[in-house]
Each structure stands twice: as structure tokens, then as C-alpha cells.
Amino acid sequence: MSSKSHFVIGFCFVILFGNAASIDYGIALTKSLLYFEAQRSGKLPPNQRVQWRGDSALNDGKDAGIDLTGGYYDAGDNVKFGFPMAFTVTMLAWSVVEFGEKLEAKKELTNALNAIKWGTDYFIKAHTQPHGLYGEVGDGNSDHQCWERPEDMTTPRNSYKVDEQHPGSDLVGETAAAFAAAAIAFNKSDWSYSSQLLIHAKELFDFAKKFQGQYQTSISVAGQFYGSTGYEDELLWAATWLLKATQDKTYLDYINDQATSSGGTRSMFSWDDKYVGAQVLIAKNLLENKFPGNESSLNQYKKNAEEFICNCIQKGNNSIKKTNGGLLWWQPWNNLQYVTAATFVIINYADTLFASKNSLQCATGTVESSNLITFVKSQVDYILGENPKKMSYMVGFGTNYPQKIHHRGASIVSIKKDRATVSCNEGFSLWFYKNAANPNVLDGAIVGGPDLSDNYNDSRSNFQQAEAATANTAPLVGVLARLTE
């Protein structure tokens, strides 16, 4: 048999039995939205699907004389950090804005909107006055001294806010972006709620712009956990979403004014750095000819967005590192958060390139939209099991996935099965150090992921690799919706 025949047979085998046939993106999509129900704080609703969770943190806000129940726990602990929570909601909303029809076709649109609303309902409570926003409930340091189910929590639940005297433009700007993006997501199904969200978005953008400062200066307890490197990106990000939601020229003027400092070519897109998101939104509008007369001043945003994408797909001047197994690589701690965020902007931009009959010009040549989608699939398939370890880094997906993820609620027997209180230190002795799989499966959670050598240590104490976070899964919701058939 000729070598050419070998190639043809091998190629056919891959088509029949390889990546495309073995991964069900629809199942992964369903699980990704289930994950947010497991992260809920507050009084759980009647339609709660994740049954091993119970009501928790029902007194949040009492120290300030207000109701701050609800919202999300950020990761494997029991603190409500407003900064990454707002980014999570913005990305869930962006998923609905871009891929709502795909979500509806898979009967997941309602679940996606519910996930957004669980966050925005909390933000409405937290936005107590035009220039005031609560940005954290609980304290990371005291929380991390205990290993407790959220239902048993005994750690302090202090409420922390920003206001005119104690600003936080990054936190406030990101929350404004979340409100504006969610307003668009709800525009068809609940116009009244959408209008309410938009009012909050406008007030918060005004607050963030007029009273500038980094939020961890005002909420110091957030600094070591979710410290912000700056707020200019959040202001731009919020303005971009508000422009999309309102078509008000005021926001376009702001974006134009910032064009000379458009963020440059970023190395990542994340809960801390929103420049890529804003640049991609602006670039998409330019491709769709939505900025007549402003093209020249806004082209720098498009150039930076496209350079980031080129670097991700290994065709730029400063390509992002990859593991030998082919996964994009940024850092040892929670690397997959950057992968999911990057795949979202790439596949989103690919669709706009295709619709506008454009291609991407990278340093090493022209790239078609189909090439971008193929690249995104390679990253998603790696996450879902097509990797050297043959392990899915989405919990509950496939047959081989992390069993001992760093997550208090998942690692302790459900309060529905055993109502005996697990105290602060008991949690460590009884559950954290237990050499057994978590009793509750945290479906849809994306863990931190493998190291640069494609290895993964499945251990609760390995928080760099084994802890999941809402910011990891949120961008993947949209990507999975787009990839479903």
C-alpha cells in the first residue's frame, strides 16, 4: 500500500472517530450553565437544578442595614467578590447577545438568562445610590482559614462599598458594563427589566468616570485576591457596551477621546484586563460599518484586537506560548481562564469577518474565518479531553475529569444528605485532607488546568490547578453555544 493510501485511510479515521465525532458540545453547554447554579449565594429558587446545594448567606448586608443576599461565590470559597462577579455576568450577557439564537436552539437560552439575572439582581441591590456600590461581602483572609460549606458558614460577612469619597472606577466600570450588556441580552424577552438595567449602567458609568481611583484602595481586603492593575480599560469597556445598548453619541465621543491610548496590543483578556474585549467590540462595529466618519480614529482599536488574535493563533509578531499538547499558555495559576476568554473573542470575531466578507491580516499571512474557528475548536477540544492526559478539564464532562477539585461545597457531603454542621476546622480534617473524590460533582466547572508540560495533579490542596472559578466558565458558554450543531 502506498504512503498516500495510508494518509487517506488515516485521514478518514480521524474524520470518523477523531475529535469532531467524540465531543458533544451541546452536553458541555448544558453543564456549563449548571455550574452557575452551584455557585449561587442566597435563597435558592424553586427551579434550582443543582440539588446538593442549599440556602446560604441569608444575612448578607445586615451589617450595613440593607439586603445583599444573592449573587455568586467566585470560586472554591464563600466570598462574594464584586469585581470578577461583574466580569462573569458581562461575559454571560455577551454570550447571549452574540449567540442567543444558538442558545435558544439548544433550549439553553432561559438558563443563560437566569444565570445573568442571578448576578444583575444582586448588583441592583448592591447599587444603593447613584454614586455608591457594594463591591464585596465576606473577607478572603478569614474565609480561607476555614473549610466550610456555604450553608454552614461561620466566617465574618462584612459588606464593603465604594462611593464618592472612596472611589473604585474599575469595579464600578465593570459593573456598568455588566448592566449594559445584560440590558441588551434581556431586550427581547423582558423590556422593562432591560430598561431598569440600563438606568443602573448609565449611573455607574457616570460615577466611575467622575470619581476615579482603583477599587482596592477603597476595599483593601479585595487587593490580594482580585487586585486591579488599572481602571482605564473598565471605563472603555463600559462605554463600549453603553454605546451598543443606547447608540448615544456621548459614549462614542468617550471612545474616540481614548483612541490615542487604546490599550495597545494586550497579552491577555481577563477579569482584570478588558482592553481586548472593548477593542474587539469596536473592531466588529468597524467591520459592520457602524461608525461612519469615525473609522480613522478608531482603527487603532481594530489593529490591536487583530494583533491579539494573530498572536493567539501563532501567526503574530509576539505569539502566545503553547504547551506541547497545543494549549495556549499564560501562567501556572488558573491558566484556563485566559484560554476560554481568548476563544470567545476569536470565534466571535471570526463570525463578523465571515459575515462582512473580510479576512484577518496577520504578520505571517492572511487568515480566513474558518481557520479561526478551527483554532478555537482545538482549544475547546483540548479542554474537553483531547489532550495528552485524555482528561476533561470541565468537571462532570466525559468519563475522566478532576475528582478532587478545590471547592468547599463540592468537597463536603451535601447538607441535604447530612444536616450535621461541619465546623471551620472540621472541614479540613474530615473533608479537605480526605483522599477520596468529592461527594458532589460540580458540573460544568472549568478548573485552573494543566501545567506547561500538559500535566495535572488532581488534589484539593493544588489550588493553582484544581480550583474552578466563574470567570473560567462564563466565556465558554458562548463558545460552546456557537460550536453546537
Nearest to 246 by CA among 185, 180, 173: 180
Residues 6+ apart with CB under 8 A from 126: 68, 71, 82, 133, 134, 135, 175
Our CA angle for 330, 103, 195, nearest 5°, is: 95
Nearest to 465 by CA among 338, 330, 333, 337: 333
Residue 406 a catalytic site member: yes
Contact 340, 473 (CB under 8 A): yes
Give bridge partners of residue 68 from the DSSP assignment: none
What is the torsional sign of CA 436, 474, 175, 223?
positive
Rounded Cα distance between 88 and 105, Å, is 23
- C-alpha dist (Å) from residue 24 to 208, 397, 481: 42, 9, 11
Q: What DSSP letter does each residue of 41-76 carry, written as one string?
A: -BS--TT---TT---B-TTTTGGGTS----SB--SS
Contact 407, 468 (CB under 8 A): yes
Residue 333: phi and psi, rounded to 5, are: -95, 115
Helix segments in 330-384, DSSP class H: 336-355, 369-383
Identify how many contiguous H helices and E strands the chain contains and give both numbers: 20, 5
As to burial, measured by CB atoms within 10 angstroms (0-12 exposed, 13-18 middle, 19+ buried), residue 220 is exposed
Rounded Cα distance between 206 and 280, Å, is 23
Rounded Cα distance between 278 and 300, Å, is 12
Give bridge partners of residue 112 from the DSSP assignment: none
CA atoms within 13 A on the CB side of 207: 31
* Catalytic option among 127, 131, 200, 406: 406
As to burial, measured by CB atoms within 10 angstroms (0-12 exposed, 13-18 middle, 19+ buried), residue 309 is buried
Helix (H, G, I), strand (E, B) or coil at 375: helix
Grid cell in block for residue 11: 485521514
Active-site annotation, residues? 406
